[in-house]
Amino acid sequence: MELSVYISGKISGEEHEACKKKFASMEAKLKKLGVDTVINPMNMGIPETWTWNDAMELCMKVLKEKANSIIMLNDWISSNGAMKEYYHARNYGYRIFMEDDTEELVKVIAHSGKWIDTSHLEIP
C-alpha cells in the first residue's frame, strides 16, 4: 500500500510566509525519508479571502480522499483545524505520526508496499 501523508498543523493566525516554510520543511523531510505522496495544505492554492470554514472544507475533502496517514506538526494542539483533522484521522483508522517522533514513520516506510493488500478478503 502506498503511503500518502497529510501534513497537519496550525495555519490560522500565523504569519503566512513562516507557515509556508514550516509546512515546506516537513514536506521535504517526508520526501527525503521516502514517503510516496506528501499532501501539503499550504500548496492547495487556498485564497486568503476564503473563510476558515471554506478552507477547512477543502482540507477535509483532500484528507478524506487522498491520504491514508497524517503527521501532526508540534503546534497542532493549538489549532481547531488541525484538531479536526486529527480526530477524523483517529476515528477512521489513519496512521498518525507526530513531528518529533519519526522513528515509527521510518519503520512504516521500510515496509510500505511490501505487505499484501488483504482489504478485499472477507473475514470468515
Q: State the maximum Cα–Cα separation within the chain, in Å, rounded to a whole number.
A: 53
7-24, pLDDT tens digit by residue? 999 999 999 999 999 999
Global pTM?
0.86
Write out pLDDT tens, residues 59-116: 999 999 999 999 999 999 999 999 999 999 999 999 999 998 877 777 777 766 555 5
* Tens-place pLDDT, residues 42-57: 999 999 899 999 999 9
DSSP string, 38-103: EE-GGGS---TTS-HHHHHHHHHHHHHHH-SEEEE-TTGGG-HHHHHHHHHHHHTT-EEEETTB-H
